[in-house]
Chain A
Amino acid sequence: MLKKIFKITGWEVMRNLRNKQFIVGIFLTPVLILIFGGLPNFIERFDSPVERTFYYQNQSQVELDWSEDMLENTVLIESENSQEQLQSRAESADADGYFIIDQEFFKTGNINLNVFSLSATNHGGLANLLTEELQNYKLATHDLSEEVIQEVTMPANLQVVSLQEDETAMGSRVITAVIFGGGLFFLLITSGSMLLQSALQEKKEKMSEIILSSISSEQLMAGKIIGHFILGMIQIGVWFGIGIPLADYFFDLPLLEAFLNPALPLIAVFALLGYLVFAALFVGIGATMEDLQSATNAQSMVFMLPVLPILVIGPVFNNPGGMLSRIVTYFPLTAPVISIVRIAIGEISTVEIIITLAILLITTILFTLAAAKIFRIGMLMYGKSASFKEIIHWLRYS
């Protein structure tokens, strides 16, 4: 029994490892992820912030006493010229605009910032600088001493003190969650689709009946599921092998630490159950289809199921112990990825882990039994994709 399963496993693994498309895919996928995910961030490093230059003229008779340290990436140049000359000078110097401080400003606080382009909207704290100058002027006109003025204008200094743990430990947990949650997500996407393709290929190349004359459909299905799990692990192993040193080098992310997480065995159990649930789903659906083009709406929907955790991953990261996180932890199709994320972050109770494991175990058994029924009939059906009604019929009567 097991010997024949492993023969199928060996065949699936070797056949794919010799396949150029698979090999190229292993190396191309992380490159694409880097391009679409990391490249903008990488380029941003070389993109220095835009520096703004404004000319100004003080017509107010008030001596300005401001510290330009408050400004970020903004340069102020004082000019003695008339207003018309100020504009032409600023324009010829390729500055972003100019402003005039007059007596009206110190009365009403109103001031015009004349800009040559509306894109020059980031003024790098210019408004705060002028506000401070205005407030200082107003306070000084009330004969307040310098000490009093400083006392009155003392800014609040808000410092965030975490009661949880130090930032590095939390960062490490998030990295663990991303690595293993993301790893499982990619395993489900890649191995799941490869498994489906494999079932389709067996039918397309009319090999299923020849193979089923030597082994049972359950053995064939099990061999394929194990084979594609191994292929998926090889794929992810290569990605981690390349990605972890690169992330460490370019982004200073200590990803390797994630593998020292004591919850790793538990994470592995969730990953395995998650894979089995989706593998049964994909191999079963693959057996009902003639080819990808003839997939029905219901069949196409199945391709979307591994993406479900991604739809809720944001709220789960923001509040790992919240109601939504708990609900999606118990839902079998989101449970594997979400549980792994919550385990890695450390925001899941033992009771939740036990209940989720039980749900996943039952789902795995049910899905595998259903897939075996569908697979047995579907693999011998040629020329058309099965309708939803037919699939239900197979499940009920086979």
Chain B
Amino acid sequence: MEPILKVKDVLKAYDDLIAVNKISLEVNQGEIMGILGPNGAGKTSLIRMIMNINAPDKGKIELNLDTDNWQSRVGYLPEERGLYKEAKVKDILIFLGSLKGLSKKEALKEGEYWLDKFDLTDNLNDEIKELSKGMAQKVQFAACVLHKPKLLILDEPFSGLDPVSQDLMKEEIKGLAESGVAIMLSSHQMNLVEEVCDRIFLLDKGNKVLYDNLDSIKNQYGNYRARLQTNDSNLLEDWLNENDLILNYNSYRNNFNILLEDNIEPNKFIADLPAGINLVELEIKRISLHNIFTRVARGGLLDAKENI
């Protein structure tokens, strides 16, 4: 099936600064693509070009939406977002829905459907200034999906939400993807990205750093990390210093944080632990996307392996 969004060799420069440097990516139907990168990486520039708010200097952006009015099939939640404070929730939903081509009745019906999902039905006639920040953000989300987009672009959708609302939003995003919506999601909250995204595009200073599905990235860059608590600290420390399974470790009292070498599987690590060691706690998992992201953002991919 044709990808919903195709970005081909897109370049955008502001004077001498190259904000986006020949980026290519695709987003498929029903897929959640995470766009990650530190501040100034070029995420918003890329998104604004996809939304036709800015034009690329070079390259091509293709949307496969089966309509001439592409804006009516794309939903966009920008990072810099707000709502008219003096306006009522109902009026804003109707207004923004009408810009996407919905009739007043359709916009209101869909708006009420989403407000119900977010438990905001009673706030339909409230002015935005009467809502909490989190409630207003849910209204913003409702406004960007009420026209049933085929492509949804979410720039930092979780920022400002409490953990309960984050979970709710996460479930709705997953639900939309399951219903076939292609979703492009930019966020700094790596744990949430890990939980919802199928593929990742990591940008740094306008350049592509990583572009793959999450498991492949973790296989490629995500060594295992073991967190271990023991009453035999000296025994373990001697073993760690002599063992070639270990890339790096640090410790505090009886707690050890250990980064395994490339291709060392958890079973191998456990089997090789010193015989008779008294373990209190043991946790082995891949290093998080957050670790990969921060290390890559700080100094390139090679450093990522050192991070625990």
State whether these chains interact: yes
Q: Which of B81, B83, B85 contacts A209 (CB 8 A)?
A: B81
Q: How far is the CA of A116 from the CA of B284 in the complex (A)?
A: 109
Q: Does B99 contact A (CB under 8 A)?
A: yes
Closest B residue to A380 by CB, please name it: B53
Q: Which of A7, A205, A209 contacts B84 (CB 8 A)?
A: A205
- Determine how close the nearest CB of chain A comes to the CB of B15; give it in whole angstroms: 8
Q: Does B165 contact A (CB under 8 A)?
A: no
Chain A: residues with Cβ within 8 Å of the partner, total of 20
**Segment touching B, from A69-77, A211-219, A250-258:** A211-219
Q: How far is the CA of A217 from the CA of B140 in the complex (A)?
A: 20
Known contacts A7-B99, A209-B53; A19/B86 CB under 8 A = yes
Q: Which of A4, A15, A213, A382 contacts B87 (CB 8 A)?
A: A15
Can you sample 21 A-B contacts with CB below 8 Å? Answer: A4-B99, A7-B95, A7-B98, A7-B99, A11-B95, A15-B86, A19-B86, A204-B82, A206-B78, A206-B81, A207-B84, A210-B77, A210-B78, A213-B51, A213-B53, A213-B144, A214-B71, A215-B99, A217-B53, A380-B53, A380-B80
Known contacts A11-B95, A214-B99; A209/B87 CB under 8 A = no
Q: Does B33 contact A (CB under 8 A)?
A: no
Q: How far is the CA of A213 from the CA of B143 in the complex (A)?
A: 12
Q: Given A205-B83, A210-B76, A210-B78, output 13 extra A-B contacts at Cβ < 8 Å.
A: A15-B84, A201-B84, A205-B82, A205-B84, A209-B80, A209-B81, A210-B144, A211-B99, A213-B76, A213-B78, A214-B99, A380-B53, A380-B80
Q: Does B100 contact A (CB under 8 A)?
A: yes
- Determine how close the nearest CB of chain A comes to the CB of B126; give it in whole angstroms: 15
CB-based contact B78/A209 at 8 Å = yes
- Determine how close the nearest CB of chain A comes to the CB of B140; give it in whole angstroms: 7
* Chain B interface residue bracket vs A: 20 to 34
Q: How far is the CA of A211 from the CA of B92 in the complex (A)?
A: 11
Q: Does B25 contact A (CB under 8 A)?
A: no
Closest B residue to A397 by CB, please name it: B15
Q: How far is the CA of A165 from the CA of B221 in the complex (A)?
A: 94
CB-based contact B95/A210 at 8 Å = no
- Determine how close the nearest CB of chain B comes to the CB of A228; give it in whole angstroms: 16
Q: Does B90 contact A (CB under 8 A)?
A: no
Residues of B contacting A217 in the complex (Cβ-Cβ under 8 angstroms) = 53
Q: 7 tightest CB-CB pairs across the interface, nearest first?
A: A206-B82, A213-B76, A214-B99, A209-B78, A205-B82, A206-B80, A213-B51
- Determine how close the nearest CB of chain A comes to the CB of B245; give it in whole angstroms: 50
Q: Does B74 contact A (CB under 8 A)?
A: yes
CB-based contact B81/A210 at 8 Å = yes
Would you give the 0/1 interface string for A1-33, flagging 1 where the beta carbon is closer than 8 Å to chain B? 000100100010001000100000000000000
Closest B residue to A201 by CB, please name it: B84
CB-based contact B83/A212 at 8 Å = no
Q: How far is the CA of A38 from the CA of B69 in the complex (A)?
A: 55
- Determine how close the nearest CB of chain A comes to the CB of B188; give it in whole angstroms: 18
Q: Does B96 contact A (CB under 8 A)?
A: yes
Residues of A contacting B82 in the complex (Cβ-Cβ under 8 angstroms) = 204-207
Q: Does B8 contact A (CB under 8 A)?
A: no
| B187-242 with Cβ < 8 A to chain A | none
Q: Does B48 contact A (CB under 8 A)?
A: yes
Q: How far is the CA of A94 from the CA of B14 in the complex (A)?
A: 85
Q: How far is the CA of A165 from the CA of B194 in the complex (A)?
A: 87
Q: How far is the CA of A211 from the CA of B51 in the complex (A)?
A: 11
Q: How far is the CA of A330 from the CA of B144 in the complex (A)?
A: 49
| A342-396 with Cβ < 8 A to chain B | 380, 382
Would you give the 0/1 interface string for B114-141, flagging 1 where the beta carbon is closer than 8 Å to chain A? 0000000000000000000000000010
CB-based contact A210/B143 at 8 Å = yes
- Determine how close the nearest CB of chain B comes to the CB of A345; give it in whole angstroms: 44
Residues of B contacting A213 in the complex (Cβ-Cβ under 8 angstroms) = 51, 53, 71, 74, 76, 78, 144
Residues of A contacting B51 in the complex (Cβ-Cβ under 8 angstroms) = 212-213
Residues of A contacting B77 in the complex (Cβ-Cβ under 8 angstroms) = 210
- Determine how close the nearest CB of chain A comes to the CB of B153; give it in whole angstroms: 8
CB-based contact B96/A210 at 8 Å = yes
Residues of B contacting A4 in the complex (Cβ-Cβ under 8 angstroms) = 99
Residue in B51, B53, B74 with the greatest tally of chain A CB atoms within 10 Å = B53
- Determine how close the nearest CB of chain A comes to the CB of B4; give it in whole angstroms: 16
Q: How far is the CA of A7 from the CA of B98 in the complex (A)?
A: 8
Would you give the 0/1 interface string for B269-295, flagging 1 where the beta carbon is closer than 8 Å to chain A? 000000000000000000000000000
Q: How far is the CA of A206 from the CA of B83 in the complex (A)?
A: 7
Residue in B51, B80, B81 with the greatest tally of chain A CB atoms within 10 Å = B80
